[in-house]
């Protein structure tokens, strides 16, 4: 099945100079690159991206980590959108398991990740967990005109294009933050 995923080179990957390596690994697949953006990670973007983990004890550290506060203030990350057959499985195989200490040593996380003494997973990359999350995340991180393929419908609104469906409500992972009671 054709799927879409968001790939992010997280702040630890950026400070370690791994962006080129990550891109190279994805270039070796048959996945098609349809979006690329250097993004500043605000608290709002971070907490919306990870809203499904908001109840976890590590949530605040995760937000600080993706904002770069635990990697010397590295507040920009590289975000890429890919599409292709079986994209989630292929991309997650390259990334490796969530816990870098448990990841296959040939994967990006297994090769370059670590768990800090404070328990933060420095796992170099984000890859969407499934195709529903892939769609939500691409719509969150990219504007329609930044995506070079016809992935999802968009509409003209106030002189600019917006995604026809908003980026995320009613996903598998639960209600949007503003909908919570």
User: Could you list the residues that contact Mg ion (CB under 5 A)?
Assistant: 129
Instruction: Confirm or reject binding of residue 126 to ligand IDP (CB under 6 A).
Output: yes
One DSSP character per residue, 52-107 reads: GGTTSTTHHHHHHHHTTTTTTT--EEEEEEEEEETHHHHHHHHH--SSTTTS-TTS
What does the angle CA 101 – CA 106 – CA 107 come to, to the nearest 5 degrees?
65
Catalytic hit among 21, 51, 52, 126: 126
One residue of 29, 98, 111, 171 binding ligand IDP per CB under 6 A: 98
Q: Is 90 in the site for ligand IDP (CB under 6 A)?
A: no
**What's the closest the beta carbon of residue 75 comes to Mg ion, in angstroms?**
21
d(CA 3, CA 20): 24
Confirm or reject binding of residue 171 to ligand IDP (CB under 6 A). no
Q: Which stretch binds ligand IDP (CB under 6 A): 33-41, 70-78, 123-131, 158-166?
A: 123-131
The option from Mg ion, ligand IDP, none interacting with 62 (CB < 5 to 8 A, set by class) reads ligand IDP
Residue nearest to Mg ion (CB): 129
Tokens of 87: 């994209």
Size of the site for ligand IDP (CB under 6 A): 9
Q: Cα(5)–Cα(13) distance, rounded to whole angstroms?
A: 18
52 flagged as catalytic = no
Among 107, 123, 131, 154, binds ligand IDP (CB under 6 A): 123
- Are the beta carbons of 30 and 20 closer than 8 angstroms? no
DSSP state of 31: P
Mapped onto helix, strand or coil, the DSSP state of residue 161 is strand
Which residue of the chain is nearest ligand IDP when measured via CB?
A: 98
- Catalytic amino acids? 126
Residues of this chain that bind ligand IDP (CB under 6 A): 53, 58, 62, 98, 119, 121, 123, 126, 129
């Amino acid at each position: 099945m054709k799927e879409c995923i968001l790939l992010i080179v997280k702040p630890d990957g950026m400070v370690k100079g791994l962006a080129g390596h990550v891109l190279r690994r994805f270039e070796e697949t048959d996945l098609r690159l349809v979006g690329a953006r250097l993004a500043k990670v605000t608290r709002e973007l971070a907490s919306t991206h990870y809203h499904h983990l908001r109840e976890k004890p590590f949530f605040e550290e995760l937000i600080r980590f993706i904002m770069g506060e635990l990697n010397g203030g590295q507040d920009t990350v590289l975000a890429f959108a890919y599409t292709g057959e079986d994209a989630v499985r292929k991309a997650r195989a390259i990334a490796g398991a969530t816990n870098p200490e448990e990841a296959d040593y040939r994967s990006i996380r297994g090769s370059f990740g670590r768990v800090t003494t404070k328990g933060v997973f420095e796992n170099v990359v984000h890859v969407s967990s499934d195709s529903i999350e892939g769609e939500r995340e691409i719509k969150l991180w990219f504007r329609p005109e930044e995506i070079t393929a016809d992935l999802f419908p968009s509409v003209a609104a106030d002189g600019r294009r917006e995604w026809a469906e908003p980026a995320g409500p009613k996903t598998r992972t639960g209600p949007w933050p503003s909908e919570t009671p």
